[in-house]
Structure 1
Amino acid sequence: MTHATTTLGGTASSVVVGRVAHGLMLMTWRQDPIPDEQCFEAIKAGIDALPPGAKMFLIGGEFYGHNLATTNLEMIARFFEKYPSYADKTFLSVKGGLVPNSYEPDCSAANLRRSVETINEKLRGTKRLDLFQSARVDPNVPIEESIAALVELKKEGKLDHIGMSECSAASLRRGNAVHPISAVEIEISPWSYEEETKTVIATAKELGVAVAGYAPLGRGFLTGQIKRPEDLPEGDFRRSLPRFQEDAMRHNFAIVDALSEIAKKKNVTAAQLSIAWVSALGQHVIPIPGSSHAKRTLENCAAGDVELTPEELDEINRVIDSADIQGERYRTAHTLWG
């Protein structure tokens, strides 16, 4: 079965991608990275399910490894080394722009150059850096300077398109005024749907920017398969997040139960319902679930074809509006809406 497609924005508005993207973070951001073959099969499954001419939107990170290592990029390079014909079937976005070995953003021209050059070095020529995005907005560097620095790197041929991540609608507007932004990545799911989320989605539509919605499954919580912190592997970064502490998880499971009931009536999985809900926020909104199993990748991709009726959307939105979610998304506020 081939799946629905959409297009990216900005300078990539002619790029046709699958309706559902594929996040690669948790393949490697763990104490024991998942074996290559399992990762490769999961990546290939989604690509093979796309219609001819469409690309799989893949999202990786310079620092998506245990202790912020470059493990993710090295795994991606090995994938394209083994399957070179898949390079043209994918659109690769990589997050960078942090201080090395730190969660702090550094979007100065010098560090963005270091980050982009590190990414290309680790990809070893196996795949173009289709899109680069700073993982966070740097409060110490005007967004105009950061985007201008990326324009220079683009002119040098080190990347093809520019994205933004975890930014406010105001920052998106300012960045897009310097150079068209192809995609803005923000967290979107039934348990992460803030007022600013809605404003960014609306602003992106106005500006012709695609929205990449990461963690549409609430980092796996909304699947119903993670009930306690012990259900996460040792070293999994989710264990450090406020929402994944035991009391918060116990409290927040109410939204999982409510969404699971709606999914059952629809004859889809709870995961598919969440992905379909994110897709329904606009043709320009592309959910990015992560998956390291081929079967799960196919289930996620199929969710892009699920159409929710107005009545079903109303029911889901009532659940979201009445949910009293405990725990912040991150440990520190500076990571949000820069």
Structure 2
Amino acid sequence: MVQLREIGKTGVKIPAIGLGCMETSAIYGTSDSTESLKVLNRAIEIGCTFWDTSAKHRDKIFICTKFGYIRKPDQSYEVSGKREYVRQACERSLKRLGVDYIDLYYQHRVDPNTPIEETVKAMAELVKEGKVKYLGISECSAETLRRAYKVHPISAIQVEYGPWFINIENNGIMEACRELGVTIVAFGTLGRGFLSGTIKSFDDLEPNDLRRKIPRFQGENFKKNLELVYKLQELSTKKGLTPSQLCLAWTLAQV
């Protein structure tokens, strides 16, 4: 049976483990649409109904999506939290997803040139209009979270967190979330796949795989981190688990 947890202080309960849909894009190398659909359908079968984006089975799926990154003509990105962009991005997401509302709407990255109060106020307007149910922020500081919460309740914060990356335990984020009742939605729990034990060499990553640009996957860092993976495999075997199961269990116990 899928474990459920309340999202923020909304009274709404969703699966404790959600389905991150980045793998259905080409961020981590070539994606397979057929396989992606199989994964989505299997997720429904087992009750994993907390998805990053989807237009299928709308009444059963809790959809969260984000705004904030704008791709420029030269393929580089800029971040925006301006009111007009917040609204424009929401309308585009609703149209692309084929839905009339978004369950959880995140600011993907905080715009350093726009006060968080201005951005959250624009997001709150979408809640009043019924286009968004709950608000979230991805990758922000504890101070920014508290400022945002004063404008409108923030139900969730998305951050990288897991056995390999525990920054939120020391930078005030975890403390602020517990104080305010904000749900921590962790990503990268499996070390972007590294801790699963399936990546043995840098060459296992396709040329267009984003992870090739991440220091933890490069040079001597890769070799040292691989040694940690082997130790994790030994520990998980003793407990009768896979490395992935152990990482997920550890993270669930923390948040």
TM-score (norm 2): 0.91
User: 1:47 aligns to what?
Assistant: 44
User: 2:84 aligns to what?
Assistant: 110
Report the alpha carbon displacement of residue 140 of structure 1 after superposing the two structures with TM: 0.9
Tell me, which stretches of 5 or more residues in structure 2 are unaligned?
A: none
Report the alpha carbon displacement of residue 165 of structure 1 after superposing the two structures with TM: 0.6
User: 2:59 aligns to what?
Assistant: 88
User: 1:234 aligns to what?
Assistant: 207
Query: Which of 90, 98, 101 is 1:124 aligned to?
Result: 98
CA distance in structure 1 between the partners assigned to 2:217 and 2:118 by the alignment: 36
CA contact (8 A) 1:227 1:249 kept: no
Q: Deviations over 1:92-131 (max 9, x none)?
A: 1102211234432111112212211111121123x63111
CA contact (8 A) 1:188 1:197 kept: no
User: 1:32 aligns to what?
Assistant: 30
CA contact (8 A) 2:168 2:174 kept: no
| SS of alignment partner, residue 181 of structure 1 | coil
User: 1:330 aligns to what?
Assistant: none
CA distance in structure 2 between the partners assigned to 1:214 and 1:228 by the alignment: 22
What is the Cα-based RMSD across aligned positions, in Å?
1.8
CA contact (8 A) 1:169 1:199 kept: yes
- Asked whether 1:97 is paired with 2:68, we answer yes
User: 2:165 aligns to what?
Assistant: 192
User: 1:304 aligns to what?
Assistant: none
User: 1:162 aligns to what?
Assistant: 135
Q: Deviations over 1:23-44 (max 9, x none)?
A: 0012113453322x32122122
Given the superposition, is the C-alpha separation of residues 218 and 49 from structure 1 closer, same or farther in structure 2, using an over 3 Å criterion? same
> Residue 43 of structure 1 aligns to which amino acid in structure 2?
L
TM-score (norm 1): 0.70
> Residue 87 of structure 1 aligns to which amino acid in structure 2?
R
| SS of alignment partner, residue 89 of structure 1 | coil
Given the superposition, is the C-alpha separation of residues 149 and 244 from structure 1 closer, same or farther in structure 2, using an over 3 Å criterion? same
CA distance in structure 1 between the partners assigned to 2:232 and 2:105 by the alignment: 34
CA distance in structure 2 between the partners assigned to 1:47 and 1:205 by the alignment: 30
Which range is displaced more, 38-47 or 259-268?
38-47
CA distance in structure 2 between the partners assigned to 1:120 and 1:197 by the alignment: 37
Residues matched between the structures, number: 251
> Residue 32 of structure 2 aligns to which amino acid in structure 1?
I
User: 1:270 aligns to what?
Assistant: 243
| SS of alignment partner, residue 102 of structure 2 | coil
CA distance in structure 2 between the partners assigned to 1:234 and 1:175 by the alignment: 39
User: 1:315 aligns to what?
Assistant: none
Greater relative contact order (CA < 8 Å, ≥ 6 in sequence): 1
- Asked whether 1:15 is paired with 2:12, we answer yes
- Asked whether 1:59 is paired with 2:33, we answer no
Tell me, which stretches of 5 or more residues in structure 1 are unaligned?
A: 61-75, 81-85, 283-338
CA distance in structure 2 between the partners assigned to 1:191 and 1:225 by the alignment: 16
CA distance in structure 1 between the partners assigned to 2:101 and 2:39 by the alignment: 21
User: 2:118 aligns to what?
Assistant: 145
Report the alpha carbon displacement of residue 46 of structure 1 after superposing the two structures with TM: 2.4
| SS of alignment partner, residue 63 of structure 2 | strand
What pairs with 1:252-331 in structure 2 (closer than 5 Å)? 252-282=225-255
Given the superposition, is the C-alpha separation of residues 100 and 154 from structure 1 closer, same or farther in structure 2, using an over 3 Å criterion? farther
Report the alpha carbon displacement of residue 254 of structure 1 after superposing the two structures with TM: 2.2
Given the superposition, is the C-alpha separation of residues 182 and 139 from structure 1 closer, same or farther in structure 2, using an over 3 Å criterion? same
| SS of alignment partner, residue 171 of structure 1 | helix
Q: Deviations over 1:64-93 (max 9, x none)?
A: xxxxxxxxxxxx34xx1xxxxx22221111
Which range is displaced more, 212-221 or 20-29?
20-29
Given the superposition, is the C-alpha separation of residues 93 and 110 from structure 1 closer, same or farther in structure 2, using an over 3 Å criterion? same
CA contact (8 A) 1:227 1:250 kept: no
CA contact (8 A) 1:98 1:107 kept: no
| SS of alignment partner, residue 219 of structure 1 | coil
CA contact (8 A) 1:186 1:197 kept: no
CA distance in structure 2 between the partners assigned to 1:3 and 1:131 by the alignment: 20
